[in-house]
Each structure stands twice: as C-alpha cells, then as structure tokens.
Structure 1
C-alpha cells in the first residue's frame, strides 16, 4: 500500500501500534475525523483502515462512514514504528534539535516571543477579561527584554507571572534570552527515582484535556502527557522527602508549545530541571544526544522558556460574563539576534 511519492506503510506496523493503543475513553471521545482524513494521517489505504477497524480501532458512525477521534489516530500513527506516518515525520522534524551537541543545547539563545489570546466567539460576551502567562526565563538564568503588553492597560499580577486586561484580546511580545545547564544529580535517592521512572518504558500520548493531569494513567496504562509525567515524578520525589515542583512553559520549536517539567532541590542545595518527557521524546528520534536520556544528569536545554506556573495552570484564558469562554490562542517563538547589552 503506497503513499504518494512511493513510501510504503505496512499494515503490520499499524496493527502493532493498535495492540498498544490507549484509546480515548468514550466519555471524552470527539469522533472528529472521517475515513478519508484518517487514511491520510495514517498513510494507509482503505483496506488497511478496514483491517484496523476489524481489530478494534474505536470509531463511531455507520459502517463505511466511520468517524475517528483524532487523538487515537495520532497516537496510533506515532507509535506504529513505520517511520512514514504524518505524526512520526512531524515529530522527527520538530525534534531534530535533540541531535544537537551538548554545547549547542547549552549556549545562550535569543528568541522573539509573541503570545496572543482572543475571544473565540463570533461576538464577545459582556464584561470580557483576558489573561496571559508571562515568560519568566530569569528562573533559569535567562532574561526578558522589550516586554510589551497590548492593550497597554493590561495589569500584571503581583507575582509577575500573569497579565490581565478587560477586553476581548490581549497580547504579549518580548525578546527572551535563555541558556542551558548540565548538572549532575548528587542525591542517590533522586538518581534512583529518575532511573526508576526511565525504566517504566512509558509512551507519550495526546490526551483529552480532562486527562492530561491524570497520574493514574502513568502507572496503570503506561502512558503519559508531559503534565501527568511531571506530576508523577514530582510525587515520587516528594514521597522520598526531596523538594520538587512542577513547572509549565514553552519549548522553542516543539509541536505542542506548552510543556511541563520538574524542578527539584538536589543534595547540593541547587534547584535542577528534570524533564521526564524529553527522555520519552528522544526515544522516538534517531541519534539524539544521550544526555537527554541519562538518569544521572539534569539537562536543562536552552529551548525551555518557563512561566511561574505549575501543571494545572494555563498560559492563556478568556472569560465572558464571568465564565471561561472559548479562546483563540496564538504562540510564535522565532530566532532573534542577540545584542551584547541584552545578554543575561
């Protein structure tokens, strides 16, 4: 079964992926993809799609007109091992930076950051308010320059972690400077916890928003989002008496720009970043930097742009009539030149 351009996808690979698929529970299903779009995403023909249906691929609708949950299809394709599906190729492209030399992952980096939220309705409701999280790279040895908030009457929270305005739109732009850090994990207990987590052989999957923080899925089903993986690892640390918090922020160049990781206090008193999902991601890309999977090393890459928020927080929100409302969120993080006077 050939895709345009001659690429061949075997039914066997997709069937192997189906054998380990964590299907979206029925109460969270969307069934937002038709057969034609499903074939395109999986890179297969209609006969193979029918084989997958016969083997238990969840779907709604009448035979021949089935509809699928896009997250099921994405996860099936990503973990099929064919190397030719749309999700696999997109991941390989967006994570190619993981092949970089350690020096490149640590070097100072400048990015032009733009975050915008707007009401997603045709007509914004009464008493609208909009909120955005602010980049806080100084938490990781970086700095922010040329921070601009539009409209100008946006008010920063006392913590400096968010900005809020009355209105249907809000935007934040800035030049963000980041740098990486490589640090040994000194605590034997912490190293053992990170090694234990790595040995769980988890799979990162796209999950419904309601399940992204569900740590039970990690232990019971071996699947995790970056939020649930970070929460699970932080819990292991806290139970062992190791101070740990989760953190959310952005990653330059990632498909899912909002990311989560863990900040732990090591035996030497230093706060170090442990990113449980980067290790999972790196396993899907060939020739990645081995430090990304080393449980004895805390590698904070220069691509992390932290907020001051933990998992469960949101980087953008719009409210109408005092209730959360649908929002259009736009995030752009692009390379920027570095001026000497701006370096942290």
Structure 2
C-alpha cells in the first residue's frame, strides 16, 4: 500500500521551485511501487504541472516518484494528476479541465434537479490485434433510471460488425444486455431527474458529517486500489473507495445501504460510484461522496454538495443495476477476458443532452 509522502524538504530561495507545488507534494499519496507506471516523460510532466524544468527537477529531488536517470526521468501520470489537482496554482491543465467538466456544479439547486433528456450509447469491441475468435461474448450494462424518477426509452442493442443478431430491445428486467461476436452496442434515450431530500436518520447525518470533516482527497488510482475503502481513513479516496467506506459505516450503524455504479452526463468516459441508503422514513436516498470531495477544488460550487443534512442526487446521474466492482462493459473472445481496464476490449460511451428539460 502507498502512504502520504511527508517530505522534510522545502523549496529554497533560488532553486526556482514553485512553492505551491512543493507544499502539495508534502501531502501527495504516492502510487505504491508495485503499481507504479512510468508512462510520462519530463516534457509532458512539466506540461501537466504547468511548471518549468527547474521546478520539475526540484519536485523529483524532493520526492515525486520517478524512474530513470536524472534529467531523463519518467513519472506516473496518476501521481502527476493528483499533484496538479491539489496544487492550488489554478494554472495546471488538470485544474482547468476538472473545473470545466464540473462547472455545472455551480448551478442553482433548481437546475441541478430539473429533468434532462439525453441520448445514450455504450459499445464494446474486441481490441486484440490478432483478431477475435468466433466464440466471443459481450456484456453491456443497461441504464436504469426508473428508480430515480426518470425513464429509459427506445432501448436498442446492436451486434456490431461481424456479430450475431441481438434481437432488438433487450430484456427490460435484465441488468446487462449480452451478445456474441466481436462487438456490441446498446443505445437508448434517457430522462433523468435529480432530488435533494433531507436525511432524517441521525446516524446518516453523522456519517456524512464525519466523511466531510475528514476532508479526504479525490484521487486517480490504480484499478487494483480504486475501490479500497481503507484509503479513506488515511485521507484519500476515489469514488468507489468512498462509496464502499460510507456503505461500511452505514451497515455498522444498522442502516441498509448498497453501492451503485453508472455514469454522469457530461463525463461519459468515467464510471461513477455512489451509495443508496434507506432512511428512517423508508425512502431510498442517494449519498454521492465524490461531488462532496471535488467541491473543494471547484470554485463557487453549490454549497448543497457539502450539506450533511441533504441526500443530493444530481439530474445527471445515470445508474445501472451494478454495484462497485462490477464491469459496465466486457468482452471475452477465448483468449482472455477484456473490460474497460484491459487492452483487448475497446469501450466507447456517449451521453449527449438532447435538450435541457422535458
């Protein structure tokens, strides 16, 4: 497991280092050595951190993990992303991209819960360079917005080039749609709607308050650690880990809870995770810890995101029938299983708003 890096060193006058990046480095969760992926050279690393070469040298000298000889180091892009996100400089591409992608969190409460209509498309195809075997199998998660007051219409499954006929609309009760062949796609029109009911159970309010008070940082993590709830008490989490942690606390307090995965309109390439809880009034409500985490780095985000008395569910949430740890897309072609994290499966997701409200 990794640990928060606590460097004893500080930037010295004249070394050219950006002091804010060095301060952020003090609290960086280092990707554990067993998962380290040296996928980024110096030039790209400097661009991600919006720093000069001298600053990057100082960061490497003071503990930013790297491999290779000095001056030709290679870094893990996840370390760079996490450092940039919490650098506080406001000028890194990571900060700007996250702020841009989540600018909707600044919207009014009314805009965050009003109905939306979107076109949804999810596809998987074999990415094996040697070609796909005839016994290939595909599975795609179906969007299921009905439990959240929305609707899924015009669902169609398509076999893709060379695949066998799927049979039109998949079973409405099924969690996934399945087919044989080298590729598959599923499409639908979604109506999503948000909600922000009050959390009535004192235990639930206390759990959310504890989570917010711990101030964990959202991280980009290796897939093997992404859903690890034990990272949260150490101050770090991805959406899967945070959701599993809150689920654990709820069950310890006797509150029925389960994790859920799906997508967020505007962030189609990210598989999101959150928690469903049953409140004292018998109503199932959503606790979405990720937006609580990210609201810290989004200037002027709606304060509702950090209110421990509310169960905020954005109108951009697209749930599946799967829990944290499930695969929204998979392809197996006789050689090896392939998912969004494995190279022989190419996954594409598009969620395009058709109109703001309906």
TM-score, with normalisation over the residues of structure 2? 0.89
CA contact (8 A) 1:130 1:164 kept: yes
2:265 aligns with one of 240, 243, 252: 252
TM-score, with normalisation over the residues of structure 1? 0.93
Give the 3-state SS of the residue equivalent to 2:318 in structure 1. Answer: strand
Give the Å deviation of 1:125: 3.6
Distance of 2:71 and 2:288 partners within structure 1:
43
CA deviation digits over 1:162-194, x for unaligned, max 9?
111111111111111000111000111111111
Give the Å deviation of 1:123: 2.9
Aligned to 1:182: 196
Distance of 2:178 and 2:219 partners within structure 1:
32
1:169 aligns with one of 167, 173, 183: 183
Aligned to 2:10: none
Give the Å deviation of 1:254: 2.6
CA contact (8 A) 1:91 1:255 kept: no
CA distance 1:28–1:159, shift in 2 (3 Å): farther
Aligned to 2:86: 79
Distance of 1:294 and 1:47 partners within structure 2:
42
Matches of residues 95-134 of structure 1 in structure 2 within 5 Å?
Answer: 95-126=102-133, 127-134=135-142
- Are 1:331 and 2:349 an aligned pair? yes
Distance of 1:191 and 1:253 partners within structure 2:
29
Distance of 1:10 and 1:297 partners within structure 2:
42
Matches of residues 141-180 of structure 1 in structure 2 within 5 Å?
Answer: 141-151=149-159, 152-153=165-166, 156=170, 159-180=173-194
- Are 1:283 and 2:296 an aligned pair? yes
Distance of 1:159 and 1:119 partners within structure 2:
27
CA contact (8 A) 1:10 1:82 kept: no
Distance of 2:252 and 2:291 partners within structure 1:
23
Give the 3-state SS of the residue equivalent to 1:88 in structure 2. Answer: helix
Give the 3-state SS of the residue equivalent to 2:131 in structure 1. Answer: coil
Q: Which runs of 5+ in 2 are unaligned?
A: 1-15, 160-164, 339-343
CA-based RMSD: 1.7
Q: Size of the alignment, in residue pairs?
A: 331
CA contact (8 A) 1:114 1:173 kept: yes
Distance of 1:119 and 1:27 partners within structure 2:
28
Q: Which runs of 5+ in 1 are unaligned?
A: 1-8
Distance of 1:256 and 1:112 partners within structure 2:
15
Give the 3-state SS of the residue equivalent to 2:65 in structure 1. Answer: coil
Distance of 1:169 and 1:18 partners within structure 2:
43
Give the Å deviation of 1:158: 8.2
Q: Stretches of 4+ moved more than 3 A in 1? A: 154-159
Give the Å deviation of 1:58: 0.3
For structure 1, which segment, 152-161 or 105-114, has the greater mean C-alpha deviation from structure 2 after superposition? 152-161
